[in-house]
Structure 1
């Protein structure tokens, strides 16, 4: 199998795509494996999901042989194939767990969708990015909602249309990634440790809150909703433990559990 999912003792899911001979390009089988693994992880009681790939490059996007085979399919068959890719993006973007993406080398085409779907993205200084679809007479349709949400409409207008390759520095400035790191393994450890230090229920609720608030007008309905949200978490078991630990000057229970 090209996709592996391992759960660590600290309840972190490590999802790895290993198809280095194809530059981790994805085809129908890889997409199905990724969907299955992410859906499984989404149902687990875990603290984080890490997405990474094995090899020199993060991902070349769609496998060329797969794309060639799809060109021979009819419209309905192409819609069905595209819906599977859309499902992959959806299950990753809607994961209840915090998600971390680690990027090395080239990330082209649909690979940018995977990056944009994750909550935290880190890339090596030499990483290169490209929304390359128009070079092939195609468009980045399925990934567009997630990429535009990450980089904004103005940047999308340039890079969707030009298919220029851009650097990690540019990806950082646009908001596609959050950090550039020489040592991806070190960055992975840092973000896992950071997430494990935080209340697991609070982290999931904070992630859900972003989806509820983003793009919503700041009106009385939203104000009342956010007030209700903080009230609920304050009186929750985890909220009470967090506040008690702070005032007692001790580590909260979830930190003790994560260190075991």
Structure 2
């Protein structure tokens, strides 16, 4: 299988890109598989958090060169179908209602950077390298551009896209592509700390918070958005999670969504 999947008793779904001989580069089959799995996890009440990593010491080298070379001579319909499937994979990850965590080791190139930019939280081991060198292949980072531009800003994105230069982990942290760096022997501990923090939040509140960020993105703070935000906080005050969260805080006890998820 191109994607390995496991779900633990806490509701943490670990997805591992599993094409290590190709540095986990994706082709048509693997991107369709990942999209299908993500949709299934998104609809599962059991799942609380989704992590994404790569097998064999690398995260993801982007699109498989052989697959892309084959597309160059494919029919226009086949090219369009695969381009849309690729776009749908990133969109599905980006809009997942569950918190998502990218755990990066080794190479994250091209579309691999896109996957990182689509995740809510991204951590990297200190020796990882990031690169978007599509222009050096006569291509453009078209499908990943919206997510990378949002993550790092348009001017930084232009510099990275146009030069195609490798980006070390400390630079990726500086520009906001990742949120944390860990040494190789500490990456699992860093991953676990982020997961523990994510599991403290109420599931419904996290889903609505992700929607709130999307609502606020690149919109002016006008009357319309202020009213929408006010409606959301009223709904959360009245929700079962909101009632339980405020009561548990005042009563100095653990809220029920954490009690039900203990290992």
Q: Which of the five TM-score ranges fits, normalised by the shorter chain?
A: over 0.9
Alpha-carbon distance between aligned partners in 2 of 1:199 and 1:76, rounded to the nearest angstrom? 44
Number of the residue aligned with 2:246:
243
**How do residues 100-139 of structure 1 correspond to structure 2 at under 5 angstroms?**
100-139=101-140
Q: Give 1:198 shift.
A: 1.3
Q: Give 1:76 shift.
A: 3.0
Q: Which runs of 5+ in 1 are unaligned?
A: none
Please state if 1:151 is matched with 2:149: no
Segment of structure 1 superposing worse, 22-31 or 71-80? 71-80
* CA-atom RMSD in angstroms: 1.0
Number of the residue aligned with 1:73:
74
Number of the residue aligned with 2:19:
19
Secondary structure of the 1:258 match is coil
Alpha-carbon distance between aligned partners in 1 of 2:217 and 2:232, rounded to the nearest angstrom? 15
**How do residues 164-183 of structure 1 correspond to structure 2 at under 5 angstroms?**
164-182=165-183, 183=186
Q: Give 1:142 shift.
A: 0.7
Count of matched residue pairs: 260
**How do residues 199-218 of structure 1 correspond to structure 2 at under 5 angstroms?**
199-218=202-221
Q: Which runs of 5+ in 2 are unaligned?
A: none
Q: Give 1:136 shift.
A: 0.4
Number of the residue aligned with 2:48:
47
Asked whether the equivalents of residues 38 and 93 of structure 2 are also in contact (C-alpha less than 8 Å), the reply is yes
Number of the residue aligned with 1:254:
257
Secondary structure of the 1:212 match is helix
Asked whether the equivalents of residues 24 and 59 of structure 2 are also in contact (C-alpha less than 8 Å), the reply is yes
4+ residue runs of structure 1 moved beyond 6 angstroms?
Answer: none
Asked whether the equivalents of residues 17 and 60 of structure 2 are also in contact (C-alpha less than 8 Å), the reply is no
Alpha-carbon distance between aligned partners in 2 of 1:142 and 1:253, rounded to the nearest angstrom? 41
Q: Give 1:75 shift.
A: 3.0
Asked whether the equivalents of residues 35 and 92 of structure 2 are also in contact (C-alpha less than 8 Å), the reply is yes
Secondary structure of the 2:178 match is coil
Segment of structure 1 superposing worse, 183-192 or 93-102? 183-192
Q: Give 1:48 shift.
A: 0.8
